[in-house]
Structure 1
Amino acid sequence: MKRRGKSKRRDHIGDFFAEYPEFDYDQSAEIWREFYRMCDGFGWRGRNDEKEEAKERFKSAMVLQFNDLYGTDRDDLNAWQGLCRILNIFPPPTELDECRKRVRRTHVNLVDLVDAPRTGARVEVFTNLEELQKYTIDTGKYFPKEDAYAGGLLKFLLREIFGKHKGGRQRVPDRRPG
């Protein structure tokens, strides 16, 4: 799926929450905060099947939303330049390889990138991986590391939050923002 110019983008996050009409979803709130609020509202505690199934669908919706917002074509200079602007890389490089290089050196929480158009909040760019890791763990804003829908731009921004990847996917306890 390529980024669409000025056409209306699909709201994958909104579509996810629409599956739960009894939940009063606030589309201007941070998405993980809304997910955790929904879980609380439904009494989903710990690792119950309904919560885990919803969480997997929610994660896929986040990836699809990222792709729709920022693009998936790793060879699309316009998509890379748009991402550079969001990441406060000015002026955006005019060469594709330079865009990739600058983005690869950037540490940003991907949930915040998905939230930014919804909340109007500025995306914080961290100085190093350790700062990003601490922020992610403290806020509970985890973006799925492995997803079938992950596009080319997204893969350049993914960072390991819990140390070196050893091939398997570790299950971690839910972290809720304070």
Structure 2
Amino acid sequence: MKCYPHLDGRSNIFFRIVLLVDSAPYCTSWQQLELYHIRPSDDLIRRVSFDNIHILEFLPALGDNPSCRCGPPITIRREHSDERFIDLEKYEASKLENNIGNRKGQALYISSFVRRLSLTEEGEYSAKDIRRAQKDVESIKENRKRSIKKQKMEIRCNKRLTKLKNIIPKERFEFSRPRKV
């Protein structure tokens, strides 16, 4: 399963999830073969092919992911907006025709302007909703920074306490326990 952000001609974003379906020939696990007393052959186990792909397209929704550097965070909606079944060979040919390979890194990046435009264009979200989501994300980022600083301080204190325990004899730390007579 792969998820790709796409832009149509009007700067609308939708997310395309590609699922490979209709596998043939049959592929199974070793345990299932042993259960039915079938002698496994290399052809039966190692050969898998796909005939069709199932494409689901999702519209964007206002998200809450704090990894967003600037602009509104986005996610996909729960319900898909479009669904198609396409022959795998036709899909791969159309990718070659349109010069679309497997996109990585910067090709998957969506600018903050395009994210904001796609969220407000259909009237789903107001500018106030977007600002609120951005403030929530900034708040989460600040909380994470504080907790990291606190964690680093605790680590330093624990290291110093361990050194101190190694320097001072153990008898001094045991003064709170009652002595056996």
User: TM-score band (shorter)?
Assistant: under 0.3
Instruction: Give TM-score, length-normalised by structure 2.
Output: 0.22
Instruction: Give TM-score, length-normalised by structure 1.
Output: 0.22
Greater helix proportion: 1
Q: Max radius of gyration: which structure? A: 2
Which structure exhibits the higher relative contact order, with contacts defined as CA atoms closer than 8 Å and separated by 6 or more residues?
A: 1
Greater strand proportion: 2
